């Protein structure tokens, strides 16, 4: 039977929905002490006095840690492997705090409650330093030292001449909000000193190898002294890509020679982990009168917060996206990452793509409007063709089927009929909007984009997969099990995943950059083929037949000619007697980075009096090569839309422009979309197969959220005939515009 495209329920779904799965914060470790951090209340300041006496006097307090008694090793929490170059601007506890929520001290105590109460008794005195909250001020130098963390430019074609030749130039500036990941599980970590002097870290992380190297750097020990094991994760969305708690927790545990647990509550996860960077981007698009894009100039400033914790990669990742969606003859781009005295930015689903697509797709919609063209027709005139070459990197974009997404999506959505409908001028107004988007598949050609997997037949006939596969809850293990099941003709549930453990698994980049299905999937597919070859040759010895006489079905090797079959378990037992082991290891190194593509269509209803915009109908068309699991694809798309509606309409951490304090630091003041706000969603899958992907598959998870906000904003602007460009379009902003 074929396991590909089956809507197989997520393998650990039953454990999750019945509450049986234990997350790290549910677990008790013998002798574990508990840490509570103390955070900066200032956006920028030098600590001149720290009074810990009252905290230390609380019965049950074991230690107080701060800049005066912790290692001053500088590190960067975004590194993934040893020797990776990165600005090392973090330390466990800085003496100069750079944002509200920066780490000032920690109390470790016998119970979380004692730690929390004692932490409240620590008094801190600061020299107040000038704080830069506005990224524009960080860049112009007026507010102090240079706040430019990273700048990326590209320039191809003759942009100046194209602008001179243009019939129309549309110039827009779009800004996007700082947002919170909102994973159900907050950040959590447990560190346990080992008898041999090493430190064991349990962490719901996106890469155990990143945890290992970041902790080693912070502790000042060789990476071999750190063992990291992934614990079950209650969602991440990029928020757990960088080790935030692990270096601290490791140090506390080693210093006290006791297991130490450190778990954040929601407010701490808001203010003291990572956010999506804010972005403000100006786009100037030069077009001909009949809607051909001649040239584009884009200038984006990203507010990355106080440290280079991932935000400094954004100018680079944003620049990639601009060259892989439309066929534009000349473009000029400048992307800058600005350091501010605000909560740090980091990885967040889409890694710059939601911001740059909001900036560029809102511009394109307004361009279509000024041209008097249908936004779909305008885009179709400019969208990229399959196998087009990215003019900046020189790589090709694979079997890109964005045209089909736009065409089939528009047809199924009834775009034309909806456009032709009469518009209400009353209190409730309807509008439609669409946006296109692209995202990457893995890290190639940057970094060492490779995955090593080992697959072995167990005595019981199931298959052991050893690989550092971090399933963040998206179901990647289910998808990988289906790929293995397809090659080796076993049930997906018969794939046994190894612990994700630096002592067990070969090096892997971890879950990021939409690489799980495309890269890790191809790695396990090749490993499965390798194991299949081993099974074939071993079985040919047992059956005394040609390898070509064998076939595989339901966990058995079958020699049809002899009418005999053998289960994998029996074959393993026979092989063991010959000192043969049924195992295979393969390393897959990526050779391409095709784009995944989507066109999303939204209809909104706007209450002009209260300013509430509701998404009433939605269609998502995706080019994902081929779906391995339709149910999980649908889940990813629904979740992406939920997140994107929040990004477009409601979510904003609300940094105070004077103090840098976060006003939306709890769910009562930070609105994520929930069930009643979700529209009916129709999904169109364009499955034309990507030649370099496993069974033709490409990524969908990150991409699913990228076109949502611009599609909705375009729909609101259509409904109100406005040009709103400041996201999110919260009721207040819409009501103001509609007055």
Partner 1 sequence: MRYHTPESFEDASAIAAGAEGVTRYLAGGTDILVQMRSDIVTPDDLIDIKHIVGVKEIARSDDGGWRIGAAVAGAELGEHDGVGADWPGVVEAMELVGSTQVQGRATLTGNLCNASPAADSVPAMIAAGATVSVTGPDGPRKIAVEDVPTGPGQISLVRGEVVTAVNLPARGPGGGDAYLRFTPRTEMDIAVVGCGISLTRDGDTITSARVALGAVAPTALLVEAAAAALVGGTLDDGALDALAAAAEAACNPIDDKRGTIRFRTHVAGVLARRVAKIAYDRAGGAK
Q: Which residues bind partner 1 (CB under 8 A)?
A: 113, 116-117, 609-612, 650, 654, 663-664, 668-671, 673-677, 730-732, 735-736
CA-wise closest residue to 431 among 203, 601, 214 = 601
CA distance 470 to 138: 37
User: HSE-up of 604 (CA within 13 Å, CB side)?
Assistant: 29
Angle among Cα 423, 426, 431 to the nearest 5 degrees reads: 40
Nearer Cβ to partner 1 (493/609): 609
Closest approach, Cβ 284 to partner 1, in A, equals 33
Nearer Cβ to partner 1 (278/492): 278
Nearer Cβ to partner 1 (116/536): 116
Closest approach, Cβ 658 to partner 1, in A, equals 14
CA 592 from centre of chain: 20
> Which residues are bridge partners to 336 per DSSP?
151, 301
Nearer Cβ to partner 1 (144/731): 731
CA 5 from centre of chain: 24
Closest approach, Cβ 663 to partner 1, in A, equals 4
Nearer Cβ to partner 1 (114/174): 114
CA distance 604 to 611: 12
Nearer Cβ to partner 1 (586/617): 617
Closest approach, Cβ 614 to partner 1, in A, equals 9
Nearer Cβ to partner 1 (142/668): 668
Closest approach, Cβ 565 to partner 1, in A, equals 54
Q: For residue 333, what is the enclosing H or E element?
A: strand 330-339
Nearer Cβ to partner 1 (446/731): 731
Dihedral angle sign, alpha carbons of residues 360, 362, 366, 371: positive
Nearer Cβ to partner 1 (630/671): 671
Angle among Cα 55, 58, 64 to the nearest 5 degrees reads: 40
Closest approach, Cβ 182 to partner 1, in A, equals 13
Closest approach, Cβ 611 to partner 1, in A, equals 8
Q: Where are the beta strands (DSSP E) in 546-608?
A: 550-553, 556-559, 564-567, 583-589, 596-607
Q: Which residues of 285-304 are buried (b: 16+ CB within 10 A; e: fewer)?
A: bbbeeebbbbbbbbbbbbbb
Largest Cα–Cα distance of the chain, in whole Å?
86
Closest approach, Cβ 735 to partner 1, in A, equals 7
Nearer Cβ to partner 1 (91/671): 671
> Which residues are bridge partners to 106 per DSSP?
37, 65
Closest approach, Cβ 672 to partner 1, in A, equals 8
Three-state secondary-structure class, residue 572: helix
Residues 6+ apart with CB under 8 A from 446: none
Task: Give me the helices (H) in 544-674, please.
Answer: 568-577, 630-645
Nearer Cβ to partner 1 (32/612): 612
Nearer Cβ to partner 1 (391/731): 731
Contact 659, 100 (CB under 8 A): yes
Nearer Cβ to partner 1 (190/649): 649
Contact 465, 484 (CB under 8 A): yes
Three-state secondary-structure class, residue 51: strand
Nearer Cβ to partner 1 (155/732): 732
CA distance 200 to 155: 48
Nearer Cβ to partner 1 (292/614): 614
CA distance 535 to 640: 41
Nearer Cβ to partner 1 (522/665): 665
Contact 249, 260 (CB under 8 A): yes
Closest approach, Cβ 607 to partner 1, in A, equals 9
CA distance 561 to 550: 9
Beta-carbon count within 10 A of 46 CB: 14
Report cis status (omega within 30 of 0) of the bond before 668: no
Beta-carbon count within 10 A of 80 CB: 22
Three-state secondary-structure class, residue 648: helix
Closest approach, Cβ 731 to partner 1, in A, equals 6
The torsion angles phi and psi of 342, rounded to 5 degrees, stand at -135, 170
The torsion angles phi and psi of 611, rounded to 5 degrees, stand at 80, 10
Task: Give me the helices (H) in 282-371, please.
Answer: 314-321, 353-371
CA distance 561 to 545: 9
Closest approach, Cβ 613 to partner 1, in A, equals 10
Nearer Cβ to partner 1 (419/663): 663
Closest approach, Cβ 667 to partner 1, in A, equals 8
Closest approach, Cβ 80 to partner 1, in A, equals 36
CA distance 488 to 493: 13
Beta-carbon count within 10 A of 258 CB: 20
Closest approach, Cβ 280 to partner 1, in A, equals 21
Closest approach, Cβ 718 to partner 1, in A, equals 21
Closest approach, Cβ 270 to partner 1, in A, equals 12
Angle between helices 246-256 and 208-219 (to 10 degrees): 60
Closest approach, Cβ 275 to partner 1, in A, equals 15
The one-character DSSP state at 650 is I
Report the phi/psi class of residue 465: left, alpha or beta, with left for phi > 0 and alpha for psi in -120 to 50.
Answer: beta
First-last CA distance in the chain: 61
CA distance 288 to 293: 7
Nearer Cβ to partner 1 (102/652): 652
CA distance 522 to 507: 16
């Amino acid at each position: 039977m074929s396991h590909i495209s089956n809507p197989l329920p997520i393998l650990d779904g039953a454990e999750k929905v019945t509450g049986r799965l234990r997350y790290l914060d549910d677990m008790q470790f013998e002798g574990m002490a508990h840490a509570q951090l103390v955070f900066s209340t200032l956006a920028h300041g030098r600590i001149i006095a720290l009074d810990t006496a009252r905290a230390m006097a609380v019965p049950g307090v074991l230690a107080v840690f701060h800049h005066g008694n912790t290692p001053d090793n500088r590190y960067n929490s975004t590194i993934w492997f040893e020797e990776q170059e990165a600005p090392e601007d973090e330390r466990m506890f800085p003496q100069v705090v750079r944002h509200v929520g920066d780490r000032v001290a920690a109390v470790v105590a016998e119970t979380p409650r004692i730690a929390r109460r004692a932490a409240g008794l620590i008094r801190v005195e600061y020299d107040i330093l000038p704080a830069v909250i506005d990224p524009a001020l960080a860049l112009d130098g007026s507010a102090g030292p240079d706040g430019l963390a990273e700048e990326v430019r590209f320039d191809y074609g003759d942009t100046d001449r194209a602008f001179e030749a243009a019939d129309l130039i549309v110039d827009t500036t779009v800004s996007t909000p700082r947002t919170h990941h909102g994973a159900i599980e907050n950040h959590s970590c447990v560190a346990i000193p080992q008898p041999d002097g090493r430190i064991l870290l349990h962490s719901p992380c996106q890469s155990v190898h990143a945890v290992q190297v970041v902790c080693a750097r912070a502790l000042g020990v060789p990476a071999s002294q750190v063992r990291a094991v992934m614990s079950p994760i209650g969602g991440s969305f990029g928020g757990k890509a960088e080790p935030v708690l692990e270096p601290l927790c490791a140090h506390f545990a080693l210093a006290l020679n006791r297991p130490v647990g450190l778990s954040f509550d929601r407010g701490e996860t808001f203010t003291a982990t990572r956010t999506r960077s804010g972005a403000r981007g100006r786009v100037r698009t030069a077009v001909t009168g009949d809607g051909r894009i001649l040239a584009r100039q884009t200038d984006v400033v990203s507010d990355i917060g106080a440290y280079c914790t991932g935000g400094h990669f954004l100018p680079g990742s944003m620049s990639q996206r601009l060259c892989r969606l439309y066929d534009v003859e000349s473009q000029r781009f400048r992307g800058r990452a600005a350091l501010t005295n605000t909560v740090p930015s980091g990885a967040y689903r889409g890694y710059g793509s939601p911001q740059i697509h909001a900036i560029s797709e809102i511009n394109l919609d307004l361009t279509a409007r000024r041209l008097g063209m249908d936004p779909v027709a305008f885009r179709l005139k400019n969208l990229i063709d399959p196998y087009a070459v990215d003019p900046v990197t020189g790589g090709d974009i694979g079997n890109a089927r964005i045209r089909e997404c736009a065409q089939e999506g528009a047809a199924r959505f009834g775009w034309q009929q909806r456009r032709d409908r009469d518009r209400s001028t009353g209190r409730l107004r309807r509008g439609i909007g669409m946006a296109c988007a692209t995202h990457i598949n893995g890290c190639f050609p940057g970094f060492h984009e490779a995955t090593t997997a080992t697959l072995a037949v167990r005595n019981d006939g199931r298959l052991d997969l050893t690989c550092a596969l971090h399933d963040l809850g998206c179901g990647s293990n289910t998808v990988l099990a289906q790929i293995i099941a397809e090659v080796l003709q076993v049930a997906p549930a018969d794939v046994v995943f190894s612990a994700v453990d630096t002592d067990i698994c070969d090096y892997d980049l971890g879950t990021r950059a939409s690489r799980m299905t495309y890269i890790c999937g191809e790695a396990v597919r090749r490993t499965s083929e390798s194991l299949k070859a081993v099974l074939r040759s071993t079985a040919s010895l047992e059956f005394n037949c040609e390898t070509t006489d064998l076939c595989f079905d339901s966990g058995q090797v079958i020699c049809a000619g002899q009418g005999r079959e053998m289960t994998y378990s029996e074959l393993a037992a026979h092989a063991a007697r010959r000192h043969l082991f049924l195992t295979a290891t393969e390393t897959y190194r990526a050779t391409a980075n095709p784009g995944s593509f989507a066109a999303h269509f939204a209809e909104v209803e706007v209450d002009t009096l209260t300013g509430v915009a509701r998404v009433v109908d939605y269609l998502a068309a995706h080019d994902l090569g081929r779906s391995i699991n339709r149910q999980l694809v649908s889940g990813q798309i629904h979740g992406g839309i939920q997140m994107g509606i929040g990004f477009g309409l409601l979510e904003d951490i609300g940094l105070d422009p004077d103090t840098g304090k976060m006003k939306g630091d709890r769910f009562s003041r930070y609105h994520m979309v929930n069930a009643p706000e979700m529209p009916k969603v129709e999904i169109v899958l364009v499955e034309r197969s990507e030649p370099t992907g496993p069974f033709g598959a490409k990524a969908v998870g990150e991409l699913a959220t990228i076109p949502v906000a611009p599609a909705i904003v375009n729909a609101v602007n259509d409904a109100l005939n406005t040009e709103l460009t400041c996201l999110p379009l919260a009721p207040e902003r819409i009501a103001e515009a509609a007055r």
